[in-house]
Amino acid sequence: MRLYVAFQLGISACLVLGPGPILSQDSSQSLDEILNRAQANIESYRTSVPNVYCTEHAIANRKIPNSSPVSGGAAPGGSTPAPREATIEDSSESSAIFRLKRLPEPSDKGIFEESRISQHVTYTSDAPGYEQFGIPALLYGVFSNGLNILSPEGRQCFSFNLRKVKQGKPIVVEFADLPSDQRAAACLAFQDGKGTIQIDPESMHVTQIERNVPHHLLVGNIKGDWTWKEKYSPVTLMGKTFWLPSSITSRSVSADQRSIWTFDATYKDYHLFYSTTRILPDQP
């Protein structure tokens, strides 16, 4: 049995927010003031970031129970089959072109479309034959939708708490799923998730988001603990600066602690991505 993980972030609301001032750090700022100022940057990102592509370097690992009935082979010096390994471990190191394309119309997955063009994959496994299944884990949706947590719609799904602001340090905001009876109708089902958001005090741009869901549906009927973290860095395109993902990490552990998936990726070398259409004349 092969377990494959392709997660999606369940926050897909479209951000609609008017521009607001971007101010330097002030320890007297209230939680709402901080969130509103960060939202101004998020609104600018969502309305102005162009179609882009970049290089993705990812390392994925998987450790799962060995459900194969086949033994591990004959024991050295005897005919008695050696016991098979209790677990299967495999990993991959891959390089890809990662593309972020704006959709003509918002969909239930957001306003952007993610895609990958694989360039190279190195695969290792302690179970012969598993290389035919490809990389152990992939992550979808976090790259393009992580910031949706701070959208006006997202704020109807979470509670927020401001940690004590320290001069010269990132502003840290904690968030948690609102109880089902307090969540807006458009919110996804209650997941008992929580996390933190780090905001640069000078630019008021989000620099890191981390979220944990303790009882997430991982794959098939397997549930477990899922934590992902996304970091952002400034990137200059068309003479403008955009804060785009620089790294994403993910770790998932089944409730029985027997299965573990990890995904660690870095994103570099951002470029504009153009999509053109050409109409060809009919052939005679």
Over residues 34-75, the pLDDT tens digits come to 999 999 888 888 888 899 999 999 999 999 887 765 544 444
The pTM for the full model equals: 0.80
Cβ count within 10 A of residue 206? 26
Phi, psi of 123 (to 5 degrees): -120, 135
On the question of pLDDT at 223 being above 70, the answer is: yes
DSSP state of 197: E
Evaluate whether residue 215 is within a structural domain.
yes
Burial of 16 (0-12, 13-18, 19+ CB in 10 A): exposed
> pLDDT-based confidence at 276, cuts 50/70/90?
low
Residue 73 lies in a domain: no
Q: What is the pLDDT of residues 3-34, one digit of tens each?
A: 444 444 444 322 121 222 333 345 568 999 99
CB-count burial class (<10 Å; 0-12, 13-18, 19+) for 30? exposed
284 assigned to some structural domain: no
Split into its structural domains, the chain has a count of 1
> Does residue 278 lie within any of the structural domains?
no
Phi/psi for 38 (5° steps) reads -65, -35
| Domain, as residue range, for 54 | 9-68+82-272
Using the predicted structure, report yes or no on whether residue 212 has a pLDDT greater than 90. Answer: yes
121 is written with which tokens?
A: 């994959």
Q: What is the model's pLDDT at position 133? A: 57
Q: Which runs of E-coded beta strand occur in the chain?
A: 5-7, 52-65, 87-107, 110-125, 137-139, 158-162, 171-177, 194-199, 206-219, 222-237, 240-254, 260-272
Least confident of 118-122, 231-235, 280-284: 280-284
Is the confidence at residue 165, as pLDDT, over 70? yes
Per-residue model confidence (pLDDT) at position 271: 96
Q: Is residue 3 part of a domain?
A: no
Q: Which sign does the torsion angle of CA 69, 74, 76, 77 carry?
A: positive
Give the distance, in angstroms, between the CA of residue 270 and the centroid of all CA atoms in the same chain. 18
More confident residue, 284 or 91: 91
